[in-house]
Amino acid sequence: MKLKLGIDPDIVAMMAAEVKAGEKAVTAAMREAGTGLKTAWRGQIAQAGLGRRLANSIRSQTFPKAGESLNAAALVWSKAPVIIGAHDTGPLIRSKDGFWLAIPTEAAGKGLKGGRITPGEWERRRGLRLRFVYRRTGPSLLVAEGRLNSRGLGVASRSKTGRGRTTVPIFLLVPQVKLPKRLDLGRDAERALDSVPGLIVARWVEG
């Protein structure tokens, strides 16, 4: 008995076509999952009131950057990972020096770059000295002897008689602050991961 094994060229072509379809389906699915996760994270951040700029720090990229592969992957990340991570985990923040955290009141105003002003910067800009006021209940204070201007900011009093001068709370002093957890990025990541098999099957059938 003589046996002969032959391979139909059409079968080889069909297998190659299926591999190509698989590469296309997996790559498209990962791109869609990555883009969907980026959109979901941006939406979460915006809805949490953290601003469009921070929301737009979320980026996505599909690999390989060119071509298609059965091993395609999607990466979603933030260009501001420290800020995003803090709002995602809700950490306990303590002073790095082991003393107080100075939380500016509305009377303190903003820093030169629009950020949170520090006690040192406030004193330099206002020309006033801050005075420590210890309170047994509630946060202690850094106060200034001055007045509130029309914008509600603590400034030096121009009165020579002391009229209108008052003690203005400029900073609240606390030993630590628990940042509220405002994001749940893991929830959206799990949803994106769970959607991948269905996306691959759908793209394979379409292809």
Tens-digit pLDDT profile for residues 66-82: 999 999 999 999 999 99
Asked if 134 and 99 touch (Cβ cutoff 8 Å), the reply is no
SS3 (DSSP) at 92: strand
Which tokens is 64 given?
A: 């390989």
- Is residue 39 predicted with pLDDT exceeding 90? yes
SS3 (DSSP) at 9: helix
Q: How far is CA 92 from CA 1, 8, 85, 100, in A?
A: 81, 67, 12, 14
Q: At what angle do helices 9-47 and 185-206 cross, to 10 degrees?
A: 150
Give me the chain's average pLDDT, please: 87
Highest mean pLDDT: which of 15-19, 166-170, 185-189?
185-189
> The whole model's pTM is what?
0.66
pLDDT value, residue 2: 60
Q: Which pairs with CB-CB distance under 8 Å and at least 24 residues apart come from 85-90?
A: 86/179, 87/45, 87/48, 87/50, 87/179, 87/181, 87/182, 87/183, 88/181, 88/183, 88/184, 88/185, 88/186, 89/181, 90/178, 90/179, 90/180, 90/181, 90/182
Omega before residue 180 within 30° of 0, cis:
no
**How many residues are there in the chain?**
207
Q: At what angle do helices 185-206 and 81-89 cross, to 10 degrees?
A: 110
Please give the torsion angle defined by the CA atoms of residues 68, 74, 78 and 84, in that order, rounded to the nearest 10 degrees: 170
Q: How far is CA 32 from CA 20, 96, 108, 120, 145, in A?
A: 18, 42, 46, 49, 59
Chain centroid to CA 82: 7
- Provide φ and ψ at 155, rounded to 5°: -140, 170
SS3 (DSSP) at 144: strand
Reported as a single tens digit per residue, the pLDDT across 112-171 is: 777 788 898 989 988 889 999 988 888 899 999 888 787 777 777 776 666 767 888 999
- Give the span between the Cα atoms of 65 and 49, in whole angstroms: 33
